[in-house]
Structure 1
Amino acid sequence: MRTFQAPKGTYDLLPPDSARYLAVREALALPARRAGYGYVETPGFEEVELFARGVGESTDVVTKEMYAFTTKGGDELALRPEGTASVLRAALEANLHKAGNLPVKLWYSGSYYRYERPQKGRYRHFSQVGAEAIGAEDPHLDAELVILADDGFRSLGLRDYRLLLNSLGDRKCRPAYRELLQEFLRALDLDEATRDRIEINPLRVLDDKRESVQKQLTGAPMMRDHLCQECRDYHERVRELLTIAEIPFEDDPKLVRGLDYYTRTTFEFVHDGLGAQSALGGGGRYDGLSEMIGGPELPSVGWALGVDRTVLALDEEDVRLDLAPPVQVYAVPLGEEARRALFSVVTELRRAGVTADFAFGGKGLKNAMKSANRSGARFALVAGERDLAENVAQLKDLESGEQAPVALDEVVSRLRSRLTLTTVREAQ
């Protein structure tokens, strides 16, 4: 009979590796939660038009990479290729912007889907943590989000990454620059698809990674040289705030990222140890996106950080996360009466906040102790008929090998005390 495998370009997360992914998600989200961002969760699929309008019809995401399908009812839907458009749609639908407390600050975590050529660091199913601040135009907000992302990476122990920063102007100064850039690009030797892009969104040509294109971009006009005074002052304030917060950054005039909705502040975190897939995440300001998808004018800014790429960066730097063991106590009963007694103790331990497991399946002592060691538990709790007759269990420290009897009604308090003491010692 045929056996099934995960679809091409996807992966399964399984223990023990999955613990690292969970730790990365939590670390990247924690700074945003501390800054007042509330959790939002949106459907895994949306109307195709939401992404066509918001992300941009000329982007590779929409034209080549989106998983689109027609439902039995005739609705045109797509698996979400990114999070911002969905989160903004949800906020507008719920009228969060009318609650009188702007900006609306939201964070999220989930799976996203793009039909891409699978390679290390680029998958068709990938995980991101994102944060969006909706409804305020303030350079302090842009700086806040950059700092929160940087704090998340640093809390994990990452060091060898760089922050790239740019400004893409606004609706006042970008039109004139757009015409200037189009005039320059039309004179280049480019393929038909790229020439089409010149007419739709010429900024995206600057982001073309092909060497044959990049060579021709020497001397191309840069947005930074054509910013209006308001955008120039805004960007300079963001730079000042990052400098005050001791966040190093590099000005990158070609940074436009892959989505059409960005305005003004644009940023990206890159890790040179990851090769072609160097972007750990990024984001920027998207002041016109709300209007693009039918909402009011709501200047906003946000980012999305890749969990998969961050894990790869940790591997590249050989950073080992300090993960709590999945099990702290492993119960080993010897005999049916002991099984009943220790199962009750395990239940009490879990309710007291201690992670505990049980030797299921009636294993003998030797096999059960092997399972205890494999579980990563610090302590084994062993009991047989003689122990129960004395109303005790044997508590064994699996690191030192020391073993001592403990009264059954004192097991929970004793273990909580021992585990707390161990944690304190390790932290010192």
Structure 2
Amino acid sequence: MITKPRGTVDILGKKMRELVALKLIIRNIMDLYNFEEIETPIFESLDLFKRAVGEETDIVSKEMFTFEDKKGRQLALRPEGTAPTVRMVLEERLFIPENLPLKMFYFGPMFRYERPQNGRQRQFTQFGVEVYGSNEYVTDVETISLSVEILKAIGITDLSCHINYLVSGDERKKYVEDLKNALSDKPLCEDCKVRFEKNPLRVLDCKIDGDKFGDVVNMKDYLSVEDQEKFDAILASLKQIGIDCVVDKLLVRGLDYYTGVVFEIKSHDKNLGAQSTMLGGGRYNKLVEELGGPSIPAVGFAIGLERVLLALESVEDLAEPKSVDAFIFPIGKKAEQASILVSTILRSAGISCDLNHLNKNLKSAFKLIERINAKNIIIIGDEELKNNSVTIKNQETKTEEKVSFDKIVDYFEK
């Protein structure tokens, strides 16, 4: 028997309904914030991710699914959504001033070759938010508050916001120099020995030794006056709207394109185990320019929807149980033709129904009726055909009523 690849899951039944409901909740919130939905290809040029995400990141160096097409071009299944979005902004010339600010979001499958574990798969569904054109701190505050509102709207309330501000410019050079001095006597894993030489900030994001760096130099002490004022304004505004933040000096995120504010929203839900980070994001003001476009500031975040569904196992069901308004049960060949007509009439009026596809007798059909949670049974027999009517049995009230063909829709609408 052929089985699904390791690190992938089948989504069906209740989980599928919850995923659909989750997307609906998120889309409704995105409408409130005036965002527009986009979609990019599942695979892109390998060079896009090398340039945007960073060749020394775990994503690019270890986790990408890459392949060569028939003309020898190097391609990759997308491991994240920001780089493809920037490519789209440039290719479609969305960066012209009259289009700004661009406020966009997406849903889609992402692919990373990681060790599968609770809440982390090699193919996962990601929701992402991207804002281009504004470098104002109010945009950072709105983006972070949006991420918190989404999680709370779907029932995840035990949250904390971890935040940091990445130093830049000449101050960054001084910080990196002092950081390397502070790390020089630390025991580093093999990967971090490479990161230490090429991008020391990546060391702080180490999944093996990250807890050993609590005494390293604090990035906050190296911020310029302008950056410090902006960071203070972000923290004050978030506190004003009820979001208290933990300033985390080790928070750098795992991608090279981040600049300025970075944040993660963590859940304390026991179902997530060690994987407590629900979503993460921040500023990437240089990415558009680094990929060949003009200098355009940008901020955003992303969240894996499967991890959300995992956390939701401890709260109320996100989706209502599956049900249909009616199950149509014909008795006889002529009644079968009539059942097709009745189902067409009902569905055209927005009333859900199903037919006796397996040609079961009424006793056997009751198990099916119970499984699909049918609210009514519509019986069509010889007597009903003679009178151009149907018998409708209400499964909740246990009552039945004779209804003429031309009044069936009225019966359900009332």
TM-score, with length taken from structure 1 = 0.92
- 1:232 alignment partner in structure 2: 228
Q: 1:192 to 1:360 in 2, by over 3 A?
A: closer
- 1:384 alignment partner in structure 2: 381
Does structure 1 retain, via aligned residues, the 8 Å contact 2:37–2:104? yes
Question: Which secondary structure does the structure 2 equivalent of 1:96 belong to?
Answer: coil
How does 1:13-412 map onto structure 2 within 5 Å?
13-98=11-96, 100-171=98-169, 173-210=171-208, 212-215=209-212, 217-272=213-268, 273=270, 274-315=272-313, 317-323=314-320, 325-412=322-409
**Cα offset for 1:309?**
0.5
Aligned amino acid, residue 366 of structure 1:
K
**Cα offset for 1:8?**
0.6
In the alignment, the residues of structure 2 paired with residue 300 and residue 41 of structure 1 have an alpha-carbon distance, to the nearest angstrom, of: 18
Does structure 2 retain, via aligned residues, the 8 Å contact 1:373–1:398? no
Q: Deviations over 1:297-340 (max 9, x none)?
A: 1100011111110011111x232224263523222222222222
Q: Deviations over 1:248-293 (max 9, x none)?
A: 3322221111111111111112223211222211111110111221
TM-score, with length taken from structure 2 = 0.95
Does structure 1 retain, via aligned residues, the 8 Å contact 2:35–2:105? yes
Aligned amino acid, residue 380 of structure 2:
A
In the alignment, the residues of structure 2 paired with residue 357 and residue 161 of structure 1 have an alpha-carbon distance, to the nearest angstrom, of: 42
Q: 1:324 to 1:241 in 2, by over 3 A?
A: farther
Does structure 1 retain, via aligned residues, the 8 Å contact 2:21–2:319? no
Deviates most, 112-121 or 325-334: 325-334
Q: Deviations over 1:136-171 (max 9, x none)?
A: 111111111222222211111111222211111333
Does structure 1 retain, via aligned residues, the 8 Å contact 2:17–2:319? no
Deviates most, 221-230 or 167-176: 167-176
In the alignment, the residues of structure 2 paired with residue 96 and residue 224 of structure 1 have an alpha-carbon distance, to the nearest angstrom, of: 35
How many equivalent residue pairs?
412
**Cα offset for 1:99?**
5.5
Deviates most, 251-260 or 3-12: 251-260
RMSD: 1.7
Q: Deviations over 1:199-247 (max 9, x none)?
A: 222112112232x5522x2320121221111111111222222222222
In the alignment, the residues of structure 1 paired with residue 348 and residue 399 of structure 2 have an alpha-carbon distance, to the nearest angstrom, of: 26
In the alignment, the residues of structure 1 paired with residue 243 and residue 344 of structure 2 have an alpha-carbon distance, to the nearest angstrom, of: 47
Q: Deviations over 1:180-216 (max 9, x none)?
A: 2122112322234212101222112112232x5522x
Does structure 2 retain, via aligned residues, the 8 Å contact 1:330–1:358? yes
Question: Which secondary structure does the structure 2 equivalent of 1:142 belong to?
Answer: helix
Question: Which secondary structure does the structure 2 equivalent of 1:164 belong to?
Answer: strand
**Cα offset for 1:30?**
2.7
Does structure 1 retain, via aligned residues, the 8 Å contact 2:155–2:315? no
Q: Which runs of 5+ in 2 are unaligned?
A: none
In the alignment, the residues of structure 1 paired with residue 111 and residue 62 of structure 2 have an alpha-carbon distance, to the nearest angstrom, of: 12
Q: 1:326 to 1:52 in 2, by over 3 A?
A: farther
Does structure 2 retain, via aligned residues, the 8 Å contact 1:130–1:302? yes
In the alignment, the residues of structure 2 paired with residue 375 and residue 164 of structure 1 have an alpha-carbon distance, to the nearest angstrom, of: 44
Q: Which runs of 5+ in 1 are unaligned?
A: 418-428
Deviates most, 339-348 or 261-270: 339-348
Does structure 2 retain, via aligned residues, the 8 Å contact 1:168–1:223? yes
Deviates most, 304-313 or 385-394: 385-394
Report the identity percentage. Answer: 37
In the alignment, the residues of structure 2 paired with residue 204 and residue 328 of structure 1 have an alpha-carbon distance, to the nearest angstrom, of: 56
In the alignment, the residues of structure 2 paired with residue 405 and residue 149 of structure 1 have an alpha-carbon distance, to the nearest angstrom, of: 52
Question: Which secondary structure does the structure 2 equivalent of 1:88 belong to?
Answer: helix
In the alignment, the residues of structure 2 paired with residue 205 and residue 17 of structure 1 have an alpha-carbon distance, to the nearest angstrom, of: 37
**Cα offset for 1:114?**
0.4
